[in-house]
Chains A and B, each alone.
Chain A
C-alpha cells in the first residue's frame, strides 16, 4: 500500500505543481535581487537575504526562510488535508478499504507519502536555490565561502552541511501541521475543510507566538521554534532551541497521529 501511495503521489499533477510553485518564489526573489542589487539591510527580514548578494551559496538558507512561514505549511496542509478526505470525496476510500486495505495500514501509507512530499518539497527548494544562487551571485574569489551569523568564516563544506541540517529541521517542522491536517482529514469528507482547519491552527499558533500576553503557552506552540534552524548558522551551533523545536514537533505529531488513528479505525465510512 505504501508503494501504491507513492505512485499516486508521483502521478498526481498537483504534487509537481506545488513543488514548482514552492521553488518559484525564492527564484523570483533571487532574480529581482540579482537584477537590482538592492538587498534588505543586514539583520532585517527575510533572513540571510542581504548576505546572498555577497555569496550565492547562502541562497538556499534565504529560500527556506522565505517559504517557511506560509508557502510550505500551506502546501503541506493541503496535502495532509487531502490524504483521507480526498479519497473519501472521490469515493475511492470505500473501495480501498474493501480491497481490503487495513485502516491503520492506509493511514500509515498516507503518512509516509506525506513525509516523502515534505522532504521532497524542502529539498527541491534548497537544491534549486543553491544552483540558482551559484549561477546568479558568483562568489568573490579569495574571500571566505561565507560568514556565519556570529561573524566567523565558514568553509563551503561547513556551509553545505549546515544547509543540509537546516533542510532537515525545516522538514521536521512541518510534521505538526501534517499531523493536524491528517487528523482533520479523518474527521471530514472535505479535503478543503481539513486543509483550512490545519492552516487555522497554524495561524492561531503564529499569532499567539508574537503575543506577550500568551507567554505562558508560547513555549508549547508548534510554530514557536520554527526559525530555530537559523542557529545552525551560528558558530558554534546553538542547539538549545533546535532541540526544543524537535521535541515539540515530536509531541504534536504523536498526539495528532494517535487521534487520527483512533478516529479513523473506529469510523463508519459512509462516503
Chain B
C-alpha cells in the first residue's frame, strides 16, 4: 500500500526524515510511533504529496508519488495535523464543499455519502450550527468524516484520537477496526503507545527522522525466552533448575526456559507447587523506550536484531502465526542496553 525507499526530507539544515524505508501492506493497521518532532507528520505529508522529498522514492497504492497523485489521492482518506473546516459553515456545508472541490463522486450521491460518513463517526444528528461552535472532539469526528467521505482504500491519520474523551477514543478505535475488517488499510501516527498497542497489527517507531523499528506488533510482544514462575517452594525450585534461574525474589522466579508448559510439568513432577506460570513478554513501551531513550545521540540498531533493523524491513508478510513459541533468539533482546548500539558521534 505504501512503500518508501531511502526517503529523505531536509528542511534547510534540519533532517526531518532520514532514509526511511516504510512498508505498509494491504490490510495492515499500521501504527507509527515516535516522540513529538520525530518526523511522523513530515513522513505523512510526504506520502500525501503535500511536501516534496529531497531524495528517495514513494509508492502509494502501487503508483509513484507525487507524480501520480491525481490517481492515488481519490482513494486515500487523510487527517493531517488536526481537522480543519470553514468555521462559518455547518458540518454538512463543509463536507459538501470539500466533496465538490475534487474529482469523482457524483453530485447526485453527495448528500447520501455525507450522511453515511457523519453517521459513521457519530455525528448523524448534527444540526446546522457553524463549525466554529463545535467542541474539539466534534471537530475531530468531522475531520474523520471528511476522510471517510469517499470510502477510501487507504486511511492516513495523524493522531486520530486527539481531543477525544476516553469513550470517544474507544469509539474511533472500533470504527477503524471495523473499516479495516471491511478491507481498508489504516496507517496512523500517534505518540500514545497504548493506543497503538490496542489497535494496530504492525508498528513502526520513528526517532529523529529515522524509522528505527518496523515489525509486527505480535513479534515485538513475543516471548523473551524466559518464564516467570510463582511458587512457594522457591528454594527447591532454584536447586532443581540449577543455573537456569536468573532471579528469585519473594517466590517469583525468572527462569531461562523455552516452554512454560514443559517447565510446569517438570516442576510439578518433582512435587513442587506452582501458583502461577507464564512466558515473559515485553510490552511495546519497553521495546520503544529501549530504542528511543538512548539519548539525543545517534541510535543505531544492532544488525543481528531483525526487529530493530530498518534495513531488514520484510517486504513479504511475516505471518503473525510465525511468532516463535520457542524463540531461537529473542525477537527483542532482553537487555535494553544490548541491542541498541550507541555510536559516539
Contacts and interface: CB of A to CB of B under 8 A. Distances in A.
Nearest to B74: A100
A207 interface: no
A101 interface: yes
Nearest to B71: A100
A90 interface: yes
B317 interface: no
A91 B70 contact: no
Interface string A254-271: 000000000000101110
**A11, A13, A95, A270: residue with the most chain B Cβ atoms closer than 10 Å:** A95
A100 B100 contact: no
A3 interface: yes
A268 B51 contact: yes
A interface, over-half SS: helix
A7 interface: yes
B87 A269 contact: no
Given A98-B80, A266-B52, A92 B70 contact: no
Contact of A95 (B74, B76, B98): B98
Interface string A90-107: 111011111111100000
B86 interface: yes
A122 B52 CA distance: 40
A12 interface: yes
Interface string A1-34: 1011001100111000000000000000000000
Contact of B70 (A7, A12, A102): A102
B69 interface: yes
A13 B89 CA distance: 11
**Size class of the B contact interface (CB-based, 8 Å):** 20 to 34
A55 B200 CA distance: 77
A268 B50 contact: yes
B73 A90 contact: no
Interface string B70-107: 10011010101111111111000100011011110000
A180 to B, nearest CB: 26
B213 interface: no
9 A-B pairs with the lowest CB-CB distances in the bound complex, closest first: A91-B84, A99-B102, A100-B73, A269-B50, A268-B51, A4-B101, A92-B84, A4-B100, A98-B78
A268 B88 CA distance: 27
Interface in A70-101: 90-92, 94-101
Contacts of B83: 91
Interface in A36-50: none
B278 interface: no
B98 A99 contact: yes
B82 A96 contact: no
B145 interface: no
B45 to A, nearest CB: 7
A94 B84 contact: yes
**A7, A98, A99, A269: residue with the most chain B Cβ atoms closer than 10 Å:** A98
Given A3-B100, A98-B73, 19 more contacts: A1-B101, A8-B86, A11-B88, A12-B88, A90-B87, A92-B86, A94-B80, A95-B146, A96-B98, A96-B102, A98-B80, A99-B73, A99-B98, A100-B49, A100-B70, A100-B103, A101-B101, A268-B50, A270-B50
14 contacts: A1-B102, A4-B97, A4-B101, A11-B88, A11-B93, A13-B88, A92-B84, A98-B48, A98-B78, A99-B102, A101-B101, A268-B50, A269-B51, A270-B45
A173 B49 CA distance: 37
A90 B11 CA distance: 23
A3 B48 CA distance: 25
Contacts of A11: 88-89, 93
Given A91-B81, A91-B84, A98 B76 contact: yes
Nearest to B77: A98
Contact of A270 (B51, B70, B76, B88): B51
Contacts of A96: 98, 101-102
A7 B97 contact: yes
A1 B103 CA distance: 9
A94 B87 CA distance: 16
A96 to B, nearest CB: 6
A101 B50 contact: no
A103 to B, nearest CB: 10
Nearest to B85: A92
Given A94-B84, A95-B84, A268 B89 contact: no
Interface string B36-77: 000000000100111110000000000000000110011010
Given A99-B98, A269-B50, A90 B84 contact: yes
A29 B86 CA distance: 37
